[in-house]
Structure 1
Amino acid sequence: MTTTSKLFGTAVAAAVLFATAPTFAQDALEVSFADAEWTGESVPDGQHCSLQGGSGATPALNVSGVPDGTTEIHVAYSDETYQPMNNGGHGTIGFNVTPADGMVSLPSVPGETDALSEPAFVAAPNATSGDFLAEGYMPPCSGGNGNTYSAQVTALDDAGTVLASGDITLGTY
């Protein structure tokens, strides 16, 4: 057998092994608002950025289905309508957690600052610039143009491995 045919046979065997290997579905988190003011339909009055006259803060969230081994929850905030601020563009807030019976409650944290109290911390800065420059979480700031805001919630272990994730729509503004 030639070296080329040996390599080809090894590649085919690897492809078959990969294609038939079992896949493990990532667990899904269930995320809900802890404050009745937030409904997921529209962003509550005043919960937008200071540039638009607000003093927004993150909504408090309840998260269930949190896997054993979770030490942090990260919440990435997005404006789904405006691509430069989608995919966590409004910042990612991290929380040090100790789940009880697979559940955690995440407190509300103020927007436009990186001075956060435990258990919260800025895990990734927002993508704002110019007049919109702010530290930490950037509250909705579209000026009431009907943009859709959401958050992706991710459970991580000590090594930073993603254990589970879930999404929640914050509302339109």
Structure 2
Amino acid sequence: MKIILMGVAGCGKSSVGVALGEAVRLPYRDGDDLHPSENIAKMSRGEALSDSDRWPWLALVGQALRGPGIVGCSALKRVYRELIDREAGGGVVFVHLSGSRAVIEGRMRGRTGHFMPPALLDSQFATLEAPAPDERAVVVDIDQPLAAVVAEIVGKLRGLGLAARPQTPRIFRPM
């Protein structure tokens, strides 16, 4: 199983990724760790990334999923998701962690130590193309407890016929 947890900055990709990884016994990798230092510096200055900034990073995200696993990556546009799927060798399921701007902004303002400032949230929402019905994707509302988000994802993965073998996660970190 190859899963991308996608959505705008602050939607909980890292928290959900760790918890989901434990629940379905797959390794989780934060896509932010694959960004070149130039991208992180640009976002830290409050500058949105361009497509040309994103392409090499998205290719690395896809390559990180050449085997089973979970990666957190914004994957905001369909063309980004298509590139990730190609680089991963196909079969990627995109889990869109969807939430209102108010919920996500509140979470962003409450977190510390992350390079992405809340000022870039508008550009993230402007860029976001929600997965279309013909994409291999599910949507989960993040305005619920972390355990409920993970349970909903596992249920939707099963609905796609994927063999998720859940277990009770041992540790839940707050989103």
TM above 0.5: no
- Which structure: larger Rg? 1
TM-score by length of 1: 0.24
Higher percent of residues as strand:
1
